[in-house]
């Protein structure tokens, strides 16, 4: 959308963003229709969600209180506001982005071999490793069996918000969603230009109104981990203690461990799940029988 009409420079970046935000309809942005609105265009929280930044960050941007926004953030905002080349240059001129304030963790996340071997050695405890954007990077056999009801084991937030299995698997799905969004907001606040987070938040904001609504909230802290109450399609109800451990050798990665109380019905359920998912050992014929 090229537009040669320039705003009064005294309005600065905030006036520019508000003006262009008003020109983009929810339908243009890929959002479902939401009926009549008192003001035209997108709301602040919608732009924030589609650009993959927190609502408070985008508000500071419009208010002129966010100094030196990163190039990645400005590119994301330009995409959401459907700016043409002329307006895009004007956005960058007004924002005057500085060099990246934090190193962009754009490299592909990989799990170190010794960590993969560690979780694979745990046959009675579901364990997996997640990355910055809560992508599932590695999981042991029992974790794969635990989440078998989901179509894909790729990302915690995508599983929670896009897979219908989440509604029955989590006995308190709402709390799980709040916690996952709050966790992602904390990560996004420290690395607002992370391309993977920008991509994920943009996708979920278009595909899930529930995610968009939660992302618009401001979480001052991440709710504490607690006992997860789950309902597995094969072994039934499970109550598992959730622990998240930071991996110091791989910044941004976390080791997630789900434990059952020893001797509990949940421990029996995990044992049954483990026996059902254990790889089959090839049968070897007794040499003595082969000689007959």
CA distances from 286 to 81, 209, 279, 290 (A): 72, 61, 21, 6
Mean of pLDDT over the chain: 84
- Whole-angstrom Cα distance, residue 182 to residue 223? 8
Mean pLDDT of 200-226: 83
Q: What are the CB-based long-range contacts (under 8 Å, 24+) for 121-124?
A: 123/274, 123/278, 124/270, 124/271, 124/274
pLDDT tens digit string along 154-178? 999 999 999 999 999 999 999 999 9
Residue 179 has pLDDT above 60, yes or no: yes
Q: Is the pLDDT of residue 22 over 50?
A: yes
Cβ within 8 Å of residue 118, ≥6 positions away: none
Confidence at residue 35, expressed as pLDDT on a 0 to 100 scale: 62
**Total count of residues recorded for the chain:** 292
- d(Cα 250, Cα 244) in Å, to the nearest integer? 14
Which of 172-181, 195-204, 257-266 is predicted with the least confidence, judged by mean pLDDT?
A: 195-204
pLDDT digits (tens, 9 = 90+) for 217-237: 877 777 777 789 999 999 999
Q: Given this model, what pLDDT does residue 10 score?
A: 36
Q: Please give the Cα distance from 151 to 170 (Å, whole number).
A: 15
pLDDT score of 215 more than 50: yes
Distance CA 51, CA 20 (A): 14
Q: Which domains does the chain have, with CATH numbers?
A: 9-95 (1.10.260.40), 113-277 (3.30.450.180)
Q: Say if residue 282's pLDDT is above 60.
A: no
Question: Residue 142: pLDDT above 90?
Answer: yes
At residue 102 the predicted structure's pLDDT band, cuts being 50, 70 and 90, is very low
Tell me, yes or no, if the pTM score tops 0.85: no
Confidence of residue 106 (pLDDT cuts 50, 70, 90): low
Q: Summarize the confidence of residues 32-53 as an average pLDDT.
A: 81
pLDDT at 134: 96
Check residues 190 and 118 and name the one with the higher pLDDT. Answer: 118
**Token code pair at residue 231:** 């309902």
């Amino acid at each position: 959308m090229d537009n040669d009409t320039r705003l009064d420079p005294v309005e600065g970046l905030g006036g520019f963003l508000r003006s262009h935000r008003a020109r983009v309809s929810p339908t243009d942005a890929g959002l479902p229709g939401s009926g009549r609105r008192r003001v035209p265009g997108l709301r602040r929280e919608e732009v924030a969600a589609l650009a993959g930044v927190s609502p408070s960050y985008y508000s500071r941007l419009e208010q002129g209180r966010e100094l030196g926004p990163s190039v990645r953030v400005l590119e994301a905002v330009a995409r959401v506001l459907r700016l043409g080349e002329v307006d895009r240059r004007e956005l960058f001129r007004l924002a005057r982005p500085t060099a990246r304030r934090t190193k962009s963790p754009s490299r592909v996340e990989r799990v170190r071999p010794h960590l993969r071997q560690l979780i694979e050695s745990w046959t009675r405890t579901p364990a997996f490793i997640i990355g910055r954007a809560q992508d599932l990077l590695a999981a042991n056999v029992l974790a794969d069996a635990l989440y078998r009801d989901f179509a894909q084991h790729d990302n915690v937030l995508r599983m929670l918000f896009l897979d219908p299995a989440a509604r029955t698997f989590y006995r308190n799905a709402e709390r799980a969603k709040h916690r996952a969004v709050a966790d992602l907001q904390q990560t996004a606040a420290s690395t607002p230009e992370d391309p993977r987070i920008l991509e994920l938040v943009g996708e979920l904001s278009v595909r899930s109104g529930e995610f968009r609504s939660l992302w618009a909230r401001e979480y001052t802290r991440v709710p504490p981990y607690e006992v997860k109450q789950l309902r597995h399609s094969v072994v039934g109800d499970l109550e598992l203690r959730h622990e998240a451990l930071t991996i110091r050798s791989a910044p941004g990665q976390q080791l997630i461990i789900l434990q059952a109380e020893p001797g509990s019905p949940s421990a029996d359920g995990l044992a049954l799940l483990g026996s059902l998912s254990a790889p089959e050992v090839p049968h070897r014929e007794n040499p003595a029988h082969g000689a007959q």
